[in-house]
């Protein structure tokens, strides 16, 4: 360690206290990573502030001494956005985890950035309300990270992305200034809404320190219907039929290959005897006997049209949770195969043909790769997971998958889609941003970055290069 950095560590300790500056290698490995494992983890220190003022002081020190900062939330990201690989100082928000205020009339909660997603969900439930943004990492992801990546999840078809629930935010810019954006207002027509610049900016424009999150009414008796679908193209008329008649809260899909892995790994029973190439999981609010009758009538209609070949419906909350596990346990189940993940989206109506084109492309180019499909088909977001063959080294596998991504994203561009629907860009998708954003858009993004972070100290090298 250089003398200069020793001085930096001392200055950081003065800001947050010596116990909250971490330099032990095991702690640096913990704080300097996310769920990707394709990049080296090499921060020089990790610092855990407890207040907005401490965050401001850290940013000002970074400007004075010219060292880079990497914001770290729950470290559940999948694009390398929170990885510190080049001697940066990690700013972890684990200590800023308090729910500061709640207003029942406004249905709003003021939270520090380190509040865990599930913590907010449980708080809302205790108040008889509902925070609807939900995904597999809800038990460890933090709100600041969710907002920084505009996280989506399984309820987007009904409730939208994280962006829809941010009523206000406080953010520390790259110069250490504190911005208080929107202040929880439902209507505010006073020019640029800077809040929406920081949502999805992946910590490159500012460090989110406090959030005012909106809540809504709890859904009534969420009921799950799982359907067997032989052809992906048939998922569209099924979606349309159900969406016209019932208040859907989710419309998910997964492949038979994905189901086989979950059943084998988790010891779960198959949902029904018939095996189909794909499965559609539908969740709707069962507001009374009429809704259940409607669901059964729609099920019969889809059978008669030949769009589905079998199905089952939950009769209790326990059964609904069991059916959801067939979809929600996929990522954890296939993690041992070192999957290469692609998180892509197109318009909902184009999903079946898009998926067929990509599947054919990858299968032809790499016949030895096992492809696992699942995703949020109701909002156009599909997850392509390629499993590593035992015969390939990790390095060769990642190299070949990078070539796969280039081909896949070319198809995404043809369909006018996105190379990252909900996981962010980070390091993993940065080389492919050109497939989703035009040259002028990227130029404006760089210009915005320079306004809010003129010395390029906030998460440099992520999302865009200056």
User: Is domain 99-217 classified as CATH 1.10.443.10?
Assistant: no
Task: Give pLDDT tens digits for 55-106.
Answer: 999 999 999 999 999 999 999 999 999 999 999 999 999 999 999 999 999 9
pTM of the model: 0.94
**First-to-last C-alpha distance (Å) of the chain:** 28
Q: Which CATH class is domain 338-435?
A: alpha beta
Q: Which segment of 108-117, 137-146, 168-177, 366-375 scores lowest on mean pLDDT?
A: 366-375
Q: Which pLDDT score is estimated for 449?
A: 98
Task: Give pLDDT tens digits for 255-290.
Answer: 999 999 999 999 999 999 999 999 999 999 999 899
Tell me which residue of 127, 129, 147, 135 sits closest to 211, measured CA to CA.
147
> Sheet harboring 166-173: ordered strands across?
99-103, 108-112, 206-214, 166-173, 178-181
Q: Which pLDDT score is estimated for 2?
A: 45
- Cα 242 to Cα 251: distance, rounded to the nearest angstrom: 10
The answer for 101, left when phi > 0, alpha when psi is -120 to 50, beta otherwise, is beta
CATH 3.30.70.2190 domain locations along the chain: 222-331
Residue 3 has pLDDT above 60, yes or no: no
Fold of 3-92: 3.30.43
Q: Which pLDDT score is estimated for 101?
A: 98
CATH 3.30.70.2740 domain locations along the chain: 338-435
250 close to 158: Cβ distance less than 8 angstroms: yes
Average pLDDT of the segment spanning 198-217: 98
Average pLDDT of the segment spanning 237-248: 95
Q: Which pLDDT score is estimated for 224?
A: 97
Answer CATH for 222-331 from 1.10.150.240, 3.30.56.10, 3.30.70.2190, 1.10.3720.10: 3.30.70.2190
Residue 395 has pLDDT above 80, yes or no: yes
């Amino acid at each position: 360690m250089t003398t200069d950095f020793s001085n930096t560590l001392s200055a950081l300790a003065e800001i947050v206290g010596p116990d909250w500056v971490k330099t032990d290698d095991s702690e640096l490995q913990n704080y300097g990573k996310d769920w990707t494992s394709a990049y080296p983890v090499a921060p020089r220190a990790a610092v855990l502030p407890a207040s907005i003022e401490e965050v401001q002081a850290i940013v000002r020190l970074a400007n004075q001494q010219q060292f880079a900062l990497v914001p770290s939330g729950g470290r559940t990201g999948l694009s390398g956005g929170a990885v510190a690989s080049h001697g940066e100082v990690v700013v972890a928000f684990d200590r800023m985890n308090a729910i500061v205020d709640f207003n029942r009339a406004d249905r709003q909660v003021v939270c520090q950035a380190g509040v865990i997603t599930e913590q907010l969900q449980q708080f809302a439930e205790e108040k008889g309300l509902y925070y609807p943004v939900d995904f597999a990492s809800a038990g460890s992801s933090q709100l600041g990270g969710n907002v920084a990546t505009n996280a989506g999840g399984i309820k987007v078809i009904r409730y939208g992305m994280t962006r829809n629930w941010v009523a206000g935010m406080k953010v520390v810019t790259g110069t250490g200034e504190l911005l208080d954006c929107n202040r929880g207002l439902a209507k505010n027509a006073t020019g640029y809404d800077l809040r929406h610049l920081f949502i999805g900016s992946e910590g490159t424009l500012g460090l989110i320190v406090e959030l005012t999150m909106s809540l809504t009414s709890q859904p009534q008796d969420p009921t799950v219907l799982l359907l067997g679908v032989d052809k992906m193209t048939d998922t569209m008329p099924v979606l349309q039929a159900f969406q016209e008649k019932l208040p859907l809260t989710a419309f998910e899909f997964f492949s038979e290959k994905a189901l086989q892995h979950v059943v084998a790994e988790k010891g779960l029973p198959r949902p029904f005897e018939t095996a189909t190439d794909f499965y559609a999981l539908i969740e709707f609010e069962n507001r009374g006997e009429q809704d259940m009758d409607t669901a059964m009538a729609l099920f019969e209609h889809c059978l008669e049209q030949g769009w589905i070949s079998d199905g089952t419906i939950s009769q209790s909350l326990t059964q609904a949770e069991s059916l959801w596990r067939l979809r929600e346990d996929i990522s954890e189940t296939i993690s041992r195969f070192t999957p290469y993940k692609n998180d892509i989206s197109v318009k909902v109506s184009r999903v079946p043909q898009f998926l067929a084109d990509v599947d054919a492309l990858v299968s032809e180019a790499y016949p030895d790769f096992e492809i696992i499909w699942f995703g949020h088909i109701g909002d156009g977001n599909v997850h392509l997971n390629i499993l590593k063959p035992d015969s390939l080294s990790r390095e060769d596998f990642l190299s070949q998958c990078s070539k796969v991504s280039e081909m896949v994203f070319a198809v995404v561009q043809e369909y006018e889609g996105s190379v990252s629907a909900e996981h962010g860009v980070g390091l993993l998708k940065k080389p492919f941003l050109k497939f989703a954003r035009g040259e002028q858009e990227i130029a404006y993004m760089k210009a915005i970055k320079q306004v809010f972070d003129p010395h390029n100290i906030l998460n440099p090298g992520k999302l865009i290069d200056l």
